[in-house]
Structure 1
Amino acid sequence: MTTRKQMLVNGFWSAALAVLMCLLASPAQAQSSLAVDIQGPGQAKMNLVMARPFAGGGQLTPADKLQDLINKDLQFLPFLQLVPPSNVPGQVGGATVDQIDFKPFSLAKVDVLVTANWTPGGNLGNVELRAFEVYSQKVLVGKGYDSVTDAQLPDIADKFCMELMQALTGQGGFFNSQIAFVKPSSGKGTDIWTVRPTGRGLTRVTSYNELGMAVSPSWSFDGRRIVFTLIGSRAHYLGVWSGGGKPQVYTLPSTNVVSPHFLPDGQVAVSLTMQGKADIYLLGAGFQPGRPLTSGGGIKVSPSFDASGHTMAYVSDQTGSPNIYVTSVGGGGGRRVTTSGYNTNPSVSPDGKLVAFTKQLGSAQKVFVLDLGTGQETQVTSGGGSDENPSFSPDGYFIAFSSTRSGGKKIFVTTRHGATPVMIPTGDGSASMPSWGPLPQ
């Protein structure tokens, strides 16, 4: 497949005249560019219409398949409201700016119009995808693909939606990031898998099967390694997968090896029981215990770090029930940041401003987000089932979590603002303990 990134804009003078008339007729429509602030307190939805594909030479079947794949991808972007084309009077006469009458879309309050144009070529043919900003008639995204095959359609959908998100928000890494998680294997074992948020690229990382339970995966900040706990029949071990082949397993001087987590500099912190209680230790050479990162009474588990490596959140029961604490990695006592209840599973946002965590509400657990600056807690999941193990995406906007809302445990994606969760396809069986990796380098 040959990819050719292009503007794909025709009819410059007609577009300019239309924009000028629009500006004169309605100052409210004088938008220079659409933009979504995903880091702000919330977003208004943009209305998006996908026009019926234009297909010549018999490509209607792959055209419909690609449109369905794009629609499914766009469901992960809560700031976009998909509007049926039937809601807009009139029909799109073509896929380029000079073939489209934008006025009906403007009257229907549509913000973004997506078109697809298929032409004869090798394999399934060639396709051009465009996303227009309706008010300015500007091309937000223009992509062309030649000699498309059926196997390439999912990647084409992902790449187009990634560029559209990038154009609207300045962030597009959602579509090519990866999530590590836990799936059951044969016997009573569990193994680590990875998947892209859209459900593509499902890959098994470990193969312990009935020999042990691989749990609590955590990505390194460079995306090259995953650290995890391996629960064997007689002991806990530390597992480290380095991007291929068999993971390395390390024996530590502890009865428990709980919730290991990478720091940005590549070191690993893990909760170990070494002096009669569980504390969080920084591992040194050979992944052996070095200095403790926590002090004081109580059990301490589940370290999580911001992208600077300065802030660590963790769980401690030193005041009774488990609560979330924050401390400096350089040293000092922990500061309790949750005020009441049973709180676990912290995940620090990359910028260090937020902590996502699990709070017990009655017989179920729900995901909350805590603003470390204001101390305000916001519940971001609700409904049936229990939600746990939240993990921030690298852009700090999305949150992956495991949930029983659909029956068995599956992984869902919401946002820091509590958007409607969307399930990530992970194949048969349950899926739990998600850990969102960094963007590919």
Structure 2
Amino acid sequence: MTTRAHKRIISVFGALFMLLGILSGRAPAQTSLAVDIQGPGQAKMNLVQARPFADGGQMTPADKLQDLINKDLQFLPFLQLVPPSNIPGQIGGATADQIDFKPFSMGKIDVLVTSKWTPGGNLGNVELRAFEVYSQKVIVGKGYDSVTDAQLPDIADRFCMELMAALTGQGGFFNSQIAFVKPSSGKGTDIWTVRPTGRGLTRITHYNELGMAESPAWSFDGRSIAFTLIGSRSHYLGVWSGGGKPQVYTLPSTNVVSPRFLPNGQIAVSVRMHGKADIYLLNANHQPGRVLAGGPGINVSPSFDASGSLMAFVNDQAGNPNIYLQNVSGGSPRRITPSGYNTNPSLSPDGKLIAYTKQLGGAQKVFVHDMTTGQDTQVTSGGGSDENPSFSPDGYFIVFSSTRSGQKKLYVTTRHGTPPIMIPTGDGTAQMPCWGPLPK
């Protein structure tokens, strides 16, 4: 945090936890509370955030921080937020010796969150704790001094990140970023980035009416974004590397589609050469080199796993577009989708799942293919069309664009198909999301 606040660790027991499976209702007799977010299904833990302990002058920031934490926790589908009014009695303070855990245990609460504000610089000092109700142990504890109003969203994000990491072993959701496309002036579009909670909304290109920046893709180190720039006469490859203007490269083709980074920093892109579109690995001069996917039909939309050994892509040689998988080093591709109209593949970082869109009744829906079992699971439903799924770095969440609200917006679901939550991205449409890696 770029602030005067000094973070004090009260106690963190999360590192002691082992992933023991999904819990529902009251925690059984065990030494720790944990969730296996990668396992099948998704039961919920019950969490209560107690009313803050604060002096009268600090209740306004205390309530604001509590509201920010509640909004963050709503993105975690394995948590059921229970109103504190549902639990009888009052707690006497924010520490374990001041809490009677029996009413919470009887109410089948798994996690209790407390906050305590004390006088200090700016708005004061705040201590946040999350208790496992059954063991009465602190699973996450954080303190911040001389808090300012501008710091409250960051404090909420950091606390929720620590809580998610303690419960699941993964906490990067709250400080990861998503690149996506928004309209600009005239008929142009530009690339923006945002955290999955809607904070940190940032515009990174400024083409306006001069062109359409489309199909952003993060590098695996999180330092660059590649995209297609559609000009009045041709397509170009754009590469933004943090700050300043992106570099723009002209390729020997008028069609430059869906560029994607490999883990080694190279870029693969579909370009139309020799009469049809194929996927090429670009050389050091950002020009087409080795063919990664050729043969019959058009080949577009490459996606790579974190090892760089697998590539999913779209080919239409069977009549309709379908998802294929092949080794980057070569060999014959394997068809993943047996039938239908299937596009927009996204490989999970571990290479075990492929999210993609399938056309159903004139609309697109997101499916997930499990390469171990061979099963396909529909993870979005309802009104509107859902497109461009992209896995989070932990392979648990999926971001996609949807018209279910009337115009294209970004939504987050999980590999299990939990109810989607809209990501705030400001006015106008938002589409073509790509989830970036965790910050180094």
Q: Same fold (TM over 0.5)?
A: yes
Pairs within 5 Å for 1:163-174: 163-174=162-173
Q: Which residue of 1 aligns with 2:317?
A: 318
Pairs within 5 Å for 1:191-210: 191-210=190-209
Q: Which residue of 1 aligns with 2:363?
A: 364
Q: Which residue of 1 aligns with 2:117?
A: 118
Indicate yes or no: 2:8 matched with 1:4: yes
Deviation at 1:28, TM superposition (A): 7.6
- Between 1:198-207 and 1:213-222, the stretch displaced more is 198-207
Deviation at 1:29, TM superposition (A): 3.8
Q: CA RMSD in A?
A: 1.2
What secondary structure is seen at the aligned counterpart in 2 of 1:92?
coil
Structure 1, unaligned runs of 5 or more: 10-26
Provide, for residues 44-102 of structure 1, a one-character-per-residue CA deviation record: whole Å limited to 9, x for no partner.
10000000111115100000000000000001000000001111111111100000000
Q: Which residue of 2 aligns with 1:279?
A: 278
Alignment-mate amino acid for residue 54 of structure 2: A
What secondary structure is seen at the aligned counterpart in 2 of 1:287?
coil
Alignment-mate amino acid for residue 302 of structure 1: S
Deviation at 1:333, TM superposition (A): 1.7
What secondary structure is seen at the aligned counterpart in 2 of 1:6?
strand
Contact 1:255-1:274 at 8 Å conserved across structures: no
What secondary structure is seen at the aligned counterpart in 1 of 2:293?
coil
What secondary structure is seen at the aligned counterpart in 1 of 2:57?
coil
Contact 2:343-2:358 at 8 Å conserved across structures: yes
Pairs within 5 Å for 1:81-100: 81-100=80-99
Provide, for residues 219-248 of structure 1, a one-character-per-residue CA deviation record: whole Å limited to 9, x for no partner.
000000000000000000000001110000
Indicate yes or no: 2:346 matched with 1:347: yes
What secondary structure is seen at the aligned counterpart in 1 of 2:185?
coil
Q: Which residue of 2 aligns with 1:375?
A: 374
Indicate yes or no: 2:292 matched with 1:293: yes
Q: Which residue of 2 aligns with 1:245?
A: 244
Q: Which residue of 2 aligns with 1:187?
A: 186
Deviation at 1:117, TM superposition (A): 0.5
Contact 2:27-2:134 at 8 Å conserved across structures: no
* CA distance, structure 2, for counterparts of residue 399 and residue 29 of structure 1: 31
Structure 2, unaligned runs of 5 or more: 14-25
TM-score, with length taken from structure 2: 0.95
Q: Which residue of 2 aligns with 1:406?
A: 405
What secondary structure is seen at the aligned counterpart in 2 of 1:391?
strand
Deviation at 1:294, TM superposition (A): 1.1
TM-score, with length taken from structure 1: 0.95
Pairs within 5 Å for 1:96-175: 96-175=95-174
Indicate yes or no: 2:336 matched with 1:337: yes
What secondary structure is seen at the aligned counterpart in 2 of 1:109?
coil
Contact 1:227-1:238 at 8 Å conserved across structures: yes
Identity %: 81
* CA distance, structure 2, for counterparts of residue 403 and residue 159 of structure 1: 29
Q: Which residue of 2 aligns with 1:439?
A: 438
Please list every run of at least 4 consecutive aligned residues from structure 1 whose deviation after the TM superposition is greater than 3 angstroms.
none
Alignment-mate amino acid for residue 302 of structure 2: P
Aligned residues: 424
Alignment-mate amino acid for residue 10 of structure 2: Q
Indicate yes or no: 2:85 matched with 1:62: no
Provide, for residues 344-380 of structure 1, a one-character-per-residue CA deviation record: whole Å limited to 9, x for no partner.
0000000000000000001211100001122100000
Deviation at 1:413, TM superposition (A): 0.4
Alignment-mate amino acid for residue 295 of structure 1: G
Contact 1:36-1:43 at 8 Å conserved across structures: no
* CA distance, structure 1, for counterparts of residue 221 and residue 263 of structure 2: 8
Contact 1:57-1:120 at 8 Å conserved across structures: no
What secondary structure is seen at the aligned counterpart in 1 of 2:69?
helix
Q: CA 1:326–1:8 in structure 2 vs 1: closer, same or farther (change >3 Å)? A: closer
